[in-house]
Structure 1
């Protein structure tokens, strides 16, 4: 049995945090921003949200309220926090298993005292979720429309603190509509035309894949091994990885230390930190005392998995589904970075969207969701591309739902 941090070390190649020095040097500032404050964490049950919550609750906030539709995830996070040494102390800790964009969310603001810091981790984050109009609209609703609604409700409640919303490396020079939706999200939260201005400022962060996080390819290795299914990974594909603990550190520093209107990104060296997915699969099996058996035919691999003893089947697939990016980057070709006094981070300066394009996209999505303006995927893609001119999306006719 392996815990998630020890498994993450298989992918990252490290057990110590890459951001330990920055965390140590900013602890005082983090404590000053959190201690005695009221925190609202949206999407707190996911891997990144729960890792950030675990870290921030160690700095003595007055209250931490978590919102997530995954009630099982909320229950597990609560058990973990209360079972750790010291538990949650005197923190007012509440969980709300609700949709953060629903009318019920308004009741939270009506019945709870005002918040000082809001962190939003809610997102549809899979490239597979852009395959058709209903799925794409749900992605835009979650990543954009509900985000706008949340910020409006915060403003109406008198919120004057800092707002943080996590982004993704796939928002830099996006090729997927998912990545483009998160780039649009960046425009949304920094745009004064569509969302309110908060006195404490707005920040975001782009960073690498979180190793063995919920729903990730690497987590599928754990699930497939338990179910005696072949492991599957794209051929000749490399990715950057951070551990779940590191993801929480990134978000805490970005939410509390980064300058307003900036997107924090880690300084990662391709030569040192890029890892081939096949190598991660091999390391994962080695950690379980198994060797790799490379098999091309899926049916043969399925039979081999059911009878595997010392060697376990791994299928390497082509990277040819729509929206898949063969490489990773954190800074777009039209963007610039600046130093923010941190060892392992720099900040991307926000570049606004073309005038009127964001408002036009949001209006199209609103009308499509209300049923007043039926549209096809091509129209949505064109509207997204107007906001994100750097989008280089290509439909290949293949998506991950058609793959093992």
Structure 2
């Protein structure tokens, strides 16, 4: 995986080795709740916690199948611990989850609550209904579970943001930017830290994960040739989240430092390297139809049909960035991690306006994407959203 994303060594080795003992000691003395723990990043976080033998590790996720695979993976790789390890196939917004949290509040509770749940795809903004669910998951479920963590007496609440929250151009990034505003309000009552990081290579649902699926199903490989992104491995994403959770101060946002080890890589370049690792040479096609047809014959000749095109869909960001020029940075504390020292800026009227507007839309059971775009512009005055009228679901 490292060679595919243009690296020869793990990104955070120096920091993980330097903090090895305090990491192990703190995990071994603590109880953890991981929300959204069966997604790619969530599973990576759960493994980083599990192998350091916590007192308790509870994992909540909507995907029953992914939870099963997570347990199989952990048992096969790490075995067992003396601590209390349990998984729960629950919706964070459900009454059943609320009952779990209530029972924990009356018993041992949790020291750390980590929220990895999110609707993360740019394609989720294609319709107003999925877009509203994205707001519920990324903003309101986060706010709700912070309040529950406070009731539990947790020491710390961690959640994942995204590099797309810095100068956002799509609705997913904007929802995470709004989430960060809500975090600042709750940070007066509980210590909160978060992380913005790059694309997680081969995470579920990602374009690189799709390469695996296309090979298995003997279908063409498709990628944009004009988009470059930063990539971290799943393990690096888990390490980054755990470092922020355990060592981040209140309101800190962690991010990976840019260096020779972390640089922009194009999807098309990764596709070529990926196919060569699989034993195929890429064959460049001129249309979707040609690519589909050649997928039936080329593989047996040691070639694979590829379609590399320019990006023209809504929500694609030209340049990825982890912070803005207005944010204060601490670049000296860690070897390969930077920290945004987030100022406590709370605008209660603006947050209340957002809540009221969303509540009114839900009460009418009628809203448009344009209604939500206008609201995001009110929350984020420099929101750079550009509507092209084209979405990823309309392409191969």
TM-score (norm 1): 0.92
Q: Is contact 2:231–2:262 with CA below 8 Å preserved after alignment?
A: no
**Which residue is 2:184 aligned to?**
190
State yes or no: 1:163 paired with 2:161: no
- 1:281 equivalent in alignment to 2:271: yes
Candidates 196, 217, 223, aligned match of 1:206 = 196
1:139-160 C-alpha deviation (Å, 9 max, x unpaired): 0001011111111222233x23
Write the mapping of 1:243-322 to structure 2, written as runs, cut at 5 A: 243-269=233-259, 273-308=263-298, 309=300, 310-322=302-314
Partner of 2:7: 14
Contact 1:42 1:120 in 2 (8 A): yes
Change (3 A) 1:191 1:209: same
**Does 1:108 pair with 2:103?**
no
Distance 2:347 2:147 in 1: 23
Aligned residue number for residue 142 of structure 1: 137
| Cα distance in 1, alignment partners of residues 50 and 212 from structure 2 | 29
The reply on whether 1:381 has 2:373 as its aligned counterpart is yes
5+ residue gaps, structure 1, are: 1-7
The answer for the alignment partner of 2:167 in structure 1 is 173
Aligned match of 2:58:
65
1:16 Cα deviation after fit: 2.7
Q: Deviations over 1:177-206 (max 9, x none)?
A: 1011111111111224xx7611xx100000
Once the two structures are superposed, the pairs formed by residues 18-167 of structure 1 within 5 Å of their partners are 18-85=11-78, 87-112=79-104, 113-157=108-152, 159-167=153-161
Structure 2 unaligned runs (5+)? Answer: none
Deviation at 1:338, TM superposition (A): 1.8
Deviation (angstroms), 1:353: 6.1
- TM-fit CA distance, 1:373: 6.8
Aligned Cα root-mean-square deviation (Å): 1.7
Matched, 1:361 2:354: yes
Q: Is contact 1:127–1:324 with CA below 8 Å preserved after alignment?
A: yes
Is the 2:158–2:194 Cα contact (8 Å) retained in structure 1?
yes
Query: How far apart, CA to CA, are the structure 2 residues paired with 1:72 and 1:238?
Result: 32
Shift of 1:109: 1.5
Partner-residue secondary structure (3-state), 2:51 = helix
SS of the equivalent of 2:333 reads coil
Task: Name which of structure 1's ranges 33-42 and 380-389 shifts more when overlaid on structure 2.
Answer: 380-389
CA distance in 2, matches of 1:107, 1:180: 31
Tell me the equivalent position of 1:218: 208
- Of residues 274-283 and 325-334 in structure 1, the stretch that sits farther from structure 2 once superposed is 325-334
CA drift of 1:215 comes to 0.5
What secondary structure sits across from 2:4 in the alignment? helix
Structure 1 contact 169–208 (Cα < 8 Å) conserved? yes
CA distances 1:323-364 after superposition (whole Å, capped 9, x unpaired): 111221111233231235100011112253655222211222
Does the residue aligned with 1:324 lie in a helix, a strand or coil?
coil
CA contact (8 A) 2:227 2:266 kept: yes
Count of residue pairs the alignment pairs up = 390
State TM-score, norm by structure 2: 0.94
SS at match of 2:222: strand
Deviation at 1:394, TM superposition (A): 0.8
Instruction: Supply the distance in 1 between the matched residues of 2:251 and 2:262 (Cα, whole angstroms).
Output: 30
Which whole-Å CA distance do the structure 2 matches of 1:320 and 1:189 have between them? 33
The residue matched to 1:80 in structure 2 has which SS?
Answer: helix
User: Alpha-carbon deviations, 1:278-306, whole Å to 9, x = none?
Assistant: 11000000001101111121101001112
